[in-house]
Chain A
């Protein structure tokens, strides 16, 4: 158990809808990351937050947004969903968010857009 909690584990929705994925980092970790894993794109970095502030941004679509709250949990909002958004979304956390840190990953949220 990594200590990173993601909810829900599975999500099935329809095209055009909006969903929110939630992540609680390990106790003591200030940085939260979101990754998307799909068959065609592999594992892709979306965004990183550190202590409530955006630290780095990757290939995150404009339809997607995220935030980290004062209690350090994070939410990833996906809107105007398309079939291609179906993927496994991982949250990860680390202590400080620097480039040499190992990440602790949650078990992921499997999103299916029908």
Chain B
């Protein structure tokens, strides 16, 4: 069965600090997709990134970067020079190609608080 674990339930940093959010997943499929979503205080879930299991290249988008390592089943998310607007709950999610449809399994989320 698929499972996503975000061990950090809450992280607090001061603005401009770098912060890494951890995500560890379990799956029996060889083809799967990993996602990160952001849930700001307004409540709506916003897509950040998608990564397929065959692409282990790290990705950088502005202050955001993602490190995917199949060897450790991890898909970590780093925010560089954090800002107050980054305060949100961040969810890592997994979708297996063997599933009928597109069923996302979410981790428990990490609440990030960035203080000025």
Which positions in A face B, CB cutoff 8 Å? 2, 31, 33, 35, 42-45, 48, 50, 55-56, 58, 88, 90, 92, 94, 97-108
Contacts and interface: CB of A to CB of B under 8 A. Distances in A.
Interface in B71-99: 91, 95-97, 99
B33 A104 contact: no
A99 B43 contact: no
Given A42-B109, A43-B109, A102 B100 contact: no
Contacts, number: 71
A106 B107 CA distance: 19
Nearest to A9: B43
A50 B104 CA distance: 15
Given A48-B101, A100-B50, A108 B35 contact: no
